[in-house]
Amino acid sequence: VVQRSGQTAKRSIYQSFTMNREETQQVIPHREPMLLVDEAEVADGIATAWYTIRENEFFTQGHFPGNPIVPGVILCEMMAQGSALLLKDDLDGKLALYAGIDNVRFKRQVRPGDTVVTRSTITGKKGPLVVVEAEATVDGTMCCKGRLSFMLTKRPTPTLPTRPPQKSEIFRGPRKGGR
């Protein structure tokens, strides 16, 4: 509620904004080759994100040679990344990690050249748990839909290895002799 000249006016509880690929990276931590949002818009509590499938995507090169199809798990990831934009204000110093994927249905194959449009809305929020309903379409036809749950966790400080691991530091399976 906003006070103006003695009057009370209601303001939408939802922020509205648009983002390009670079601006998206200020909100979610994904980078190439896993950044699956080209542009996005959040308005009236709905996140809409667009991603055009390129010919050389790592996930279509072997799925399937001569008949490239976007894997269902990648469609879920596209919906998740678009959904995370709804949490922009909650993500300062935090990371949204999958807590669950429920009632997911795949309705149409997605191929290179297709532009996937995801739409998401928050349907529940309790403490650090956020639940969204999301869908992905191509040319207005449903490809995938489902309920995605996220847990907001503290974002770790990125660490870079100062040296490659030594041979003795690489896990090689259980030790012989009971230990």
Q: Which two tokens stand for residue 82?
A: 């678009």
H or E, element range at 21: helix 21-24
b/e code 124-157 from CB counts within 10 Å (16+ = b): eeeeeebbbbbbbbbeeeebbbbebbbebeeeee
Question: Token pair of 76, please?
Answer: 């879920």
Terminal Cα distance for the chain, rounded? 63
User: Residue 29: which residues within 8 A CB-CB, separation 6 or more?
Assistant: 95, 155
**Catalytic pick among 29, 39, 50, 63:** 63
Known catalytic residue at 30: no
Distance CA 87, CA 110 (A): 27
Residues taking part in catalysis: 63
